Amino acid sequence: MTDLSPVYAYVDEHADRMVADLQRLIRQPSISSANLGVRECAELLVEMMGDVGITARVIETDGLPVVYGEINSDRPEAPTLLIYTHYDVQPADPESDWESPPFEARRVGDRIIGRGATDAKGNLMAHLKAVEALRATTGLPINVKFIFDGEEESGSPSLPAFVERHRDLLAADAALSFDGGFDAGDVPRVSLGTSGLLFVQMRAHGGSKDLHSARARLVPNPAWKLVWALASIKGPDGRVRIEGFYDAVRPPTPLERSLLEQAGWDDEAQKRDLGVDEFLGGVSGVDALEQLLFTPTCNIAGFASGYVGEGNKTLLPATAAVNVDFRLVVDQDPADIFQRLRKHLDDHGFADVELHDLGSIEPSRVPADSPFARVVVEAARRVYGREPSLRPSESASGRQAVWLAGKLGIPGAGTGIGPPDWRGHAANEFITVRHYLAGIKYAATIWSLFGEG
């Protein structure tokens, strides 16, 4: 591989300015849930990308804008890498919980404290500085395309339509996310998948208004209807009874299983954190982690009907609603599961239960031994001098690089550069200068290794 020591030296030499630029980005609020400062932040980014030679622009979506940029290598055969991260941040309230104002980006020792310091402005800025360092030294080894999401903290609702609309623009050889950070023990993490999601609401109706509960002898109760419908969908054994629900589910490969075994899962720490004595099905150890990452579920996220509260209201409710979310795994298709659920309801006597699709995200998983995954892992080894934690999937759902790669039919992976316990979504989020500067080198190293194929 090209000797990257000039790149690393450039980063170290220009550390103060690189930190100052990150502080400038953090100081521009960009809270997507409140649409606060998002557009201003997008415009600031276009300016900062231009400063390092990236051709950038704001592209409108159905929601908040995407910042898109590209820069090409001088090398004619260079592959193209699509980098995904986001410039929006979580709300900072209550601000009183912060030791310094959330958008001040105050530096305290090695820490830069601020909302978005790691998630994902530190991650994002590492790319811009990698471009600068490479161009100033060894040259850019690959073509890079950037897609900076403005709605990640709100679930990236506009991304699917954006990707459909800009398929040609996004054409690349691989996709990589930079978001989040290190595991406990300062272990870098590489993620190769996310869970899918199908979120639905089921609604049932009884009489035309809430009635005296004595009338329950004659008038159907919508809460009972949902109880029976739900009980038909999943039994106390935890198995989902929708026909074909598990058909597409793939078990972990031997390599994925071995990765789980290396993951350092700690039953007792997890149980303490979750507040339970035992995991569902009585699983423990690596089996528990496999259950968390490789099995789909069907969860009641909310059930609302009638009245539960002060005072004894014995009423017959007119309506009942239940929110159910399915966490899906590859290769389950949310649209297919929705259809199967509708058919299940129809076939089991619940044709009159309304079913509303509240949103979905496709699951994604790439093979742990894919060449691109090996590139990212190798880069982590070289920069951090240790073996990264390779996660075959995440339990949660999201539309980041692995999802994007699935959409575009290319390899994908996700990683991040924030320090352990970087307090994402909480007060006093921070990044350390050390992790930030190492992150710039990490990005440059991934690109170089990728450029060499």
Token digits of residue 204: 């049932």
Smallest distance, its own copies to C-beta of residue 292, A: 5
Closest residue by Cα to residue 14 from 444, 445, 442, 437: 437
- Give the nearer residue to its own copies in terms of CB position, either 1 or 34: 34
Residues 6+ apart with CB under 8 A from 91: 31, 33, 34
Nearer to its own copies, 108 or 280 (CB): 280
Q: How far apart are CA 223 and CA 236, in angstroms?
A: 19
Task: Give min distance, CB of 438 to its own copies, in A.
Answer: 29
**Shortest distance (Å) from residue 304 CB to its own copies:** 4
Which of 29, 65, 30, 67 lies closest to 45, judged by CA? 67
* Tokens 């060499």 belong to residue: 452
CA 192, distance to chain mean position in Å, is: 12
Q: Give me the least distance between CB of 218 and its own copies, in Å please.
A: 4
- Which residues of 3-125 form beta strands (DSSP E)? 55-59, 66-71, 80-86, 106-108, 111-113
Q: Are 303 and 319 within 8 A, CB to CB?
A: no
Cβ–Cβ contacts within 10 Å for residue 3, how many?
9
Whose Cβ is closer to its own copies: residue 55's or residue 299's?
299
CB of 73 to its own copies, least distance (A): 39
Min separation Cβ 299 and its own copies, Å? 4
Q: Which amino acid is at 15?
A: A
Minimum distance between the CB of residue 7 and its own copies, rounded to whole angstroms? 38
CB-nearer residue toward its own copies: 75 or 209: 209
The smaller minimum CB distance to its own copies, of residues 48 and 200, is found at 200
| Minimum CB distance to its own copies smaller for 100 or for 228 | 228
CB 183 within 8 Å of CB 90: no
Q: How far is the CB of 393 from its own copies (least distance, A)?
A: 11
Give backbone dihedrals phi and psi of 424, rounded to 5 degrees, phi first: -60, 140
Provide the edge-to-edge strand list for the sheet that holds 106-108. Answer: 106-108, 111-113, 430-432
Q: Which residue has the tokens 């300016």?
A: 47
Between 318 and 437, CB nearer to its own copies: 318
Task: Give which of 431, 364, 384, 8 is closest to 179, Cα–Cα.
Answer: 431
**Do 297 and 198 contact (CB within 8 A), yes or no?**
no
Rank residues 252 and 451 by Cβ distance to its own copies and give the closer one. 252
Q: What per-residue string of b and e applies to 403-430 under the rule 16 or more CB within 10 Å gives b?
A: bbbbbbebbbbbbbbbbeebbbeebbbb
Considering beta carbons, is residue 151 or 325 the nearer one to its own copies? 325
**Whose Cβ is closer to its own copies: residue 285's or residue 371's?**
285
Q: Which two tokens stand for residue 125?
A: 């800025």
Report, in Å, the least distance between residue 220 CB and its own copies.
6
Shortest distance (Å) from residue 315 CB to its own copies: 5
* Contact indicator for 115, 49 with CB cutoff of 8 Å: no
